[in-house]
Amino acid sequence: MPLLDIPTLNVIQLGFGFFSTFFAFNSQGFIEEAVIDSAADSGNINKHAGYYSLAIIYAVFTAANFIAAPIVDILTPKWAMVLGSLCYAIFQVGFLFLNEWYLYASSALLGLGAAIIWTGQGSYLSQNCTKETNSRNSSMLWAMSESSLLGGGLFLFIVFTVQGAQEKIPTSTINILYSVFTVLSLIATVIFALLRAPYYPETVDRENYGKLVGSTFKLMFTKKMFLLAFVFAYTGIEQSFWTAIYPTCISFTKQLGSNTNALLALNAICTGFGQIAAGVLSGVLGDRVRKVGRDTIVLIGTIVHLIVYALCYINLPQDSPIQKTDEMGGLIQPNLVIVLICGALLGFGDAIWNTQIYSFLCDTFSKQSAQAFSLFKLYQSALSCAAFFYAPALQLNWHLVILVVTSLFAACCFFCVERISREKTSVRDSYNFTEDRTNKLRGDVQYRINEMEQPNSG
């Protein structure tokens, strides 16, 4: 008897594919603006093209989520992820011959690919889970996927430590980095292409995809999804914070050190550790998590994030998201140890939120997984896009106010929707129990009637 069943092996292979994809993409995301700023001296590209690229990615990602579900169902989750992974490779290879218009076009293509690959991931995961394995598999997949932050951070740290403290990133270093990123994206494509068919496949009506798009809109306006929209929105805002705004604060705080690229790599490593720790913990304690309840786990994630936001206010200058500064933090001199602790806790809290959302969607929308996950990514990417637009205009304290308010509101909405689901499950189970008891009593009565009607053999 194999140690691991086929659904678990499918999820592990899926995790390896996402590890490879986001080892490349997350790593380049930390350095994209620095790379473009270094290349802008040649006059071939605008020095702010990195911000424009990011805005295009998330804008297209948001819009593409409306059509992601039918695309995934037409192609199947496996081949949808293959297509999405190829979009990532096309984007990465463009940095080997930086051209502004290619960057913008490939960013738009990547936005489409991101919507497809994430919706495909959610659908494939859902079709390899049961109610008993939802939490464990979601946590395991998240830990494997987000360990890419740890691997990518170590890779960047080694490269930039060897390079030394330089204001600009040399072209030779850029070519090495993006060659590795492109190869990793292609390896991920192969991993996805070799995936088995889902173990618990959904039955999809493939005759009318207009109806499928309509079902996505119909699901959007249900009570559960309305409440979940605020939960998804918060994950988008906090995602933009830990992926871009917080690293920018580190880079612009001069009192932290001179080799800021190496510091960003260290922060990525710490964030990766936090993500992995939360994913592994949720996976190992899968049965206990189910007993404690998703709402309790989300409460822990909320408290962790609130602690981080307080530490960020205390430790970092108010102008650090906007410009380089020598100022003090809110209450103390900027401290690198606190910076790295915050990076780890940001990753830990983010993983808690996302694993519980994955578990909830797989459990509650098992028959509409593609639609549910496409709406999740729609709201998440839309708010990430909005956060990137307002980021250059706000000081750190305003970012933190937005994060605190939205985290508390999102937690309340999650508690409400979890309670609704729990009550419906309880009512359904009670109804099934009563129906079973009634059928049993009917059977007993019928048996006795039959006995009485039989002639006496004596």
Angle (CA) 282-269-305 rounded to 5° is 55
Least Cα distance to 363 among 105, 129, 121, 180 occurs for 129
Burial class of residue 121 in the structure, from the number of CB atoms within 10 Å of its CB (0-12 exposed, 13-18 middle, 19+ buried) = buried
**pTM (2 d.p.):** 0.76
Q: 173 vs 54, 97, 365, CA distance in Å? A: 22, 13, 46
Q: Residues 354, 20: contact at Cβ < 8 Å?
A: no
Q: Per residue of the chain (458 residues), give pLDDT as tens.
A: 356 788 889 999 999 999 999 999 988 877 776 778 777 766 677 766 776 787 788 889 888 877 887 888 888 899 999 999 999 999 999 988 888 889 999 999 999 999 899 889 888 988 888 877 877 787 788 778 878 888 888 898 888 888 766 667 788 888 899 999 999 999 999 999 999 988 887 765 555 666 767 777 888 888 889 999 999 999 999 998 988 889 888 878 888 877 767 788 888 889 888 888 887 776 666 566 666 778 888 999 999 999 999 999 999 999 888 877 888 888 899 999 999 999 999 999 998 998 888 888 878 887 777 788 878 888 998 898 888 778 778 899 999 999 999 999 999 999 999 888 877 654 444 444 445 555 555 555 555 555 555 554 43
Which residue ranges make up each domain of the chain?
Answer: 6-200+208-426
Q: What is the pLDDT of residue 70?
A: 82
Question: Residue 151 half-sphere exposure, CB side, CA atoms within 13 Å?
Answer: 19
* pLDDT value at residue 291: 66
d(CA 39, CA 170): 9
CATH topology of domain 6-200+208-426: Growth Hormone; Chain: A; (1.20.1250)
pLDDT of residue 268: 87
Cα-Cα-Cα-Cα dihedral of 368, 416, 234, 406, to 10°?
Answer: 160
Query: Given this model, what pLDDT does residue 256 score?
Result: 83
Please give the Cα distance from 344 to 277 (Å, whole number).
9
CB 394, CB 93: distance < 8 Å:
no
Q: What is the pLDDT of residue 397?
A: 92
Determine the straight-line distance between the first and last CA of the chain, rounded to whole angstroms: 56
